[in-house]
Amino acid sequence: MDLSMMNEEQLQAIKSTDGPLLIMAGAGSGKTRVLTHRVAYLLSEKDVPAYNILAITFTNKAANEMKLRVERIVGAQDARDIWISTFHSMCVRILRSNINYLGYDRSFSIIDPTDQRNVIKDIMRRRNIDVKQHNPRNIIGYISNQKNALTKPKEAMETADKFPDTLYAEIYQTYQEVLYRNSSVDFDDLIMLTIELFQKEKSVLEFYQNKFQYIHVDEYQDTNQAQYELIQLLAKKYRNICVVGDSDQSIYKFRGADITNILNFEEDYPEAKIVKLEENYRSSQTILDAANAVIQNNMERKPKNLRTKRSLEEKITSIVSGTEREEGHSVVSHIMDLKGKYKYNDVAVLYRTNAQSRAVEDALMKSNIPYKVVGGMKFYERKEIKDLMSFLRVIQNPRDDISYERIINVPKRGVGQKTIDKIRAHAEAHEISMYEALKAADFIGLSGKVANALALLNETLENLQKKSQFMSVTELVDETLHDTGYLEMLEADKTLESKSRIENLEEFKTVTMEFDRDNEVSDSLLFEFLSDMALVSDQDSIEEDSGVTLMTMHASKGLEYPVVFIIGLEEGIFPSRRAIFDESELEEERRLMYVALTRAEDRLFISRAETRTIYGKQESNMNSRFYGEIPEELIEGVQYERPSVRIGGYNADRANRPARGKSRVVTTGGATSKFKTGDKVTHPKFGEGLITAVKGEGSSEELDVVFKSVGPKRLLSQFAPISKKE
């Protein structure tokens, strides 16, 4: 086999086949290539039978990619006999043959999350436990955590010392009894039951120990307690275990990942050999120097230093904007400047939380730049935003049956599909709206309970209609969320998902506050706002399979882009507020920054806003300490003095004071507009149009244009490819 393209460290990792091996693979260092060639080397050079090799990854995509690469090197015949899979698919194969030892049928079922919820709800119903007080999803999360920690129901009940853990432990026990009676398992059971099988039946464990004489584990820093124990059992006999990972990229603590698994590898295997892959094939040296400088501030890590044969190339560009809206415009401005050299799908914008995407999305939409959101829905397409907009549309126009039907059972009022069909049929027969049809509830045949609930809904909407005449949009949003019970519904749920929905609704108020600042209260205010939103959120021209990528930093792990923007580099945003006073959490945030930095290949932009309105509140946050940990000589644009203290006594004043001789804010604008209302314009995609309104100035100037072919659009004049028609 040809290994001529490998560097010295990669060759060492490939050829070190006997005994424990820890490959510390830095970002972009070619770890997948090393793993696949190591497997091929065992087959072709060491004559190891294919059925004696195991390779474990975390995702089906990674497993399939590894299979294809091994096939290309050794051929389909040998590759077919190698076990290359995820943890869970490996355990399914083992349990299919041996789960009868645990009393389950070999044709056991694997239940999905919906089935899990149904089982939990049924248990709660039989025990008269209120689902509003104890959300089934919270209980499922509790059970999952117990299983990942290898804690059985009996142990959970013995160690539970407070409410609601005692209740959840009891439900956990009943839940497992139900699954056992049905010969069913859930996703977390797959690993826990495999470990239980190995511990109970030594002959089964010995069979798989003899089978898997050469074990490979990718992304070892992301393993949890159960996965760690499983690997320890399998590797105990032959100890030919190769783990690949990077302690600096351990960012999934919230999922149960335990960084000590990789940090303590040498304690588990004192004879282990360590190989560091430090040559990076992805990023410029400037980007790597920045990443190295940031991560060296962490104590909980295995030291390494990424390097590349590429030159320093472009410096990192620093962007400091006045507000998050200006930050979005600045990002778009730089994307447009790069347009000749890079395509839109070469660009990624990374942020700490999904709520931060809104300002960038707005700027991209108004500039007609295609984009896609990875790991989350577009801001205006999220359920809670659509629900709120539907309430507002019905308040503005009670005849809007599309919006009314969306909110008729939100929050739940006992209105099923049959009831909706009855109301709709009555409305259509009498050519009235569903809203009006409910005034004749007695003639529709609704139950008294449902009729009363819907009468209350209509009364609430009528009151909100009256309030809308003299309230700002922000005030009306607050009243709507309160009066309809929508906010109360989310607050009662107490899940991470509901908390995220509340945060997104608070972030929506950033939009309404911005609108209210520019418009006086009047009886047409809501109409104007909804018209404004219809223009802003129109995304017919967006192609989902191409364009600028928007995603959280967590979602970016494993990906790479020629151009990367990291936005929101402010204390309390990134690092997050809860991490600032917790050393362990802060180190996890710093690893996240390291991951974000090393996604960039050629160009890197780091950005912050001096004031940011997020979750409906305006804040003036300090400059992120991560900003300050990047060496000054690597940055062009706005720079800051570095804080003198790293943690506890973080010097906020120095961090936020611009260095002498440096400009503080990069801004554009102030020029007189070349467009005015009534101008005829042309657009290369939309054709001829007429400007109906010009708002704002400079980089924030927006044009409302009605095009003959596609109707009304809102565009940023600075970036829109339009010209006046003579």
CATH number of the domain encompassing residue 418: 1.10.486.10
Q: What pLDDT score was predicted for residue 496?
A: 75
179 pLDDT tier (thresholds 50, 70, 90): confident
Q: What are the φ and ψ backbone dihedral angles of 651, each rounded to 5 degrees? A: -85, 90
Instruction: Check pLDDT > 60 for residue 644.
Output: no
Q: Beta partners for 551? A: 350, 374
Instruction: Check pLDDT > 80 for residue 302.
Output: yes
**Does residue 234 share a domain with residue 90?**
yes
pLDDT digit string (tens) for 530-586? 766 765 543 333 344 579 999 999 988 888 999 999 999 999 899 988 888 888 999
| Contacting residues for 714 by C-beta, under 8 A, at least 6 apart | 365, 366, 535, 536, 538, 702, 703, 704, 705
Please say if 469 is a catalytic residue: no
What is the C-alpha separation between 88 and 468, in angstroms, rounded? 54
What is the C-alpha separation between 208 and 203, in angstroms, rounded? 9
Q: Does any domain span residue 301? A: no
Q: How far is CA 695 from the centre of its chain?
A: 34
Q: Does any domain span residue 113? A: no
Placement of tokens 């999934």 in the chain: 252
* Strand order across the beta sheet in which 680-683 lies: 711-716, 702-707, 687-695, 680-683, 723-724
Report the half-sphere exposure of 471 (CA within 13 A, side-chain side). 18
Please say if 31 is a catalytic residue: yes
What is the C-alpha separation between 251 and 602, in angstroms, rounded? 24
pLDDT digit string (tens) for 591-621? 999 999 999 999 999 999 988 887 777 888 8
Q: By residue range, what is the domain housing residue 694?
A: 679-724
DSSP 495-537: SHHHHHHHHHHHHHHHHHHHHHHHS---TTHHHHHHHHHHHHT
Instruction: Check pLDDT > 70 for residue 653.
Output: no
DSSP 694: E
Q: Does any domain span residue 284? A: no
Find the mean pLDDT for residues 86-97: 88
**Does residue 549 share a domain with residue 528?**
no
> Which member of 10, 31, 209, 419 is catalytic?
31
Q: Does any domain span residue 674? A: no
Find the mean pLDDT for residues 623-630: 91
pLDDT digit string (tens) for 655-666? 443 333 333 333
| Contacting residues for 469 by C-beta, under 8 A, at least 6 apart | 523
**Does residue 546 share a domain with residue 507?**
no
**Does residue 446 share a domain with residue 388?**
yes
pLDDT digit string (tens) for 217-257? 999 998 999 999 999 999 999 999 999 998 888 888 877 88
> Which member of 249, 285, 480, 552 is catalytic?
249
**Does residue 398 share a domain with residue 467?**
yes
What is the C-alpha separation between 184 and 104, in angstroms, rounded? 8
pLDDT digit string (tens) for 437-483? 887 666 677 888 888 888 899 999 999 999 998 899 999 999 999 99
pLDDT digit string (tens) for 680-726? 888 888 888 888 888 877 767 888 888 887 777 888 887 777 888 86
> Which member of 509, 599, 603, 608 is catalytic?
599
What is the C-alpha separation between 135 and 167, in angstroms, rounded? 12
Please say if 724 is a catalytic residue: no
> Which member of 219, 516, 532, 641 is catalytic?
219
Looking at residue 334, which CATH number applies to its domain? 3.40.50.300
Q: How far is CA 419 from the centre of its chain?
A: 37
Return the H-helix or E-strand segment holding 14: helix 8-15
Q: What pLDDT score was predicted for residue 166?
A: 92
DSSP 467: H
N-to-C CA span, the chain: 67
What is the C-alpha separation between 647 and 298, in angstroms, rounded? 11
**Does residue 390 share a domain with residue 473?**
yes
Please say if 384 is a catalytic residue: no
What radius of gyration, in Å, describes the C-alpha atoms of the chain? 29
Return the H-helix or E-strand segment holding 85: strand 83-86
pLDDT digit string (tens) for 252-286? 887 788 888 899 999 999 999 999 999 999 999 99
Please say if 598 is a catalytic residue: no
Find the mean pLDDT for residues 347-361: 91
Q: What pLDDT score was predicted for residue 101?
A: 94
pLDDT digit string (tens) for 663-692? 333 333 345 678 888 888 888 888 888 888
**Does residue 403 share a domain with residue 516?**
yes
What is the C-alpha separation between 607 and 524, in angstroms, rounded? 38
The residue ranking higher by pLDDT, 32 or 476, is 476
Report whether 63 contacts 57 (CB < 8 A).
yes
> Which member of 32, 174, 296, 317 is catalytic?
32
Q: Does any domain span residue 206? A: yes
Q: Which residue stretches of 552-679 are H helix? A: 583-597, 625-628, 652-655
Looking at residue 698, which CATH number applies to its domain? 2.40.10
Amino acid making up residue 168: Y
Q: Beta partners for 683? A: 687
User: Could you tell me the two tokens for 527?
Assistant: 């109409």
Q: Does any domain span residue 719? A: yes
Using the 3D structure, point to which of 610, 637, 664 is the last residue of a domain: 637
| pLDDT above 70 as % of the chain | 91
Q: What pLDDT score was predicted for residue 655?
A: 42
**Does residue 79 share a domain with residue 223?**
yes
Looking at residue 134, which CATH number applies to its domain? 1.10.10
Other residues' Cβ atoms within 10 Å of the Cβ of residue 671: 11
Angle subtended at Cα 674 by Cα 668 and Cα 679, rounded to the nearest 5 degrees:
140
Q: What pLDDT score was predicted for residue 652?
A: 41
Using the 3D structure, point to which of 262, 279, 296 is the last residue of a domain: 279
Find the mean pLDDT for residues 134-160: 91
**Does residue 219 share a domain with residue 74?**
yes
Which residues are part of a known binding site? 25-32
pLDDT digit string (tens) for 339-349? 889 999 999 99
Using the 3D structure, point to which of 478, 513, 533 is the last residue of a domain: 533
Which residues are part of a known binding site for ATP? 25-32
Please say if 219 is a catalytic residue: yes
Q: How many domains does the chain contain in total?
A: 5
Q: Does any domain span residue 312? A: yes
Residue 325: name the closest of 510, 572, 563 by CA: 510
**Does residue 422 share a domain with residue 337?**
no
Mapped onto helix, strand or coil, the DSSP state of residue 279 is: strand
What is the C-alpha separation between 591 and 588, in angstroms, rounded? 5
Q: Does any domain span residue 298? A: no
Torsion angle defined by CA atoms of residues 286, 288, 290 and 296, in that order, rounded to the nearest 10 degrees: -150
**Does residue 708 share a domain with residue 591?**
no
**Does residue 510 share a domain with residue 443?**
yes
Residue 486: name the closest of 381, 400, 398, 413 by CA: 413
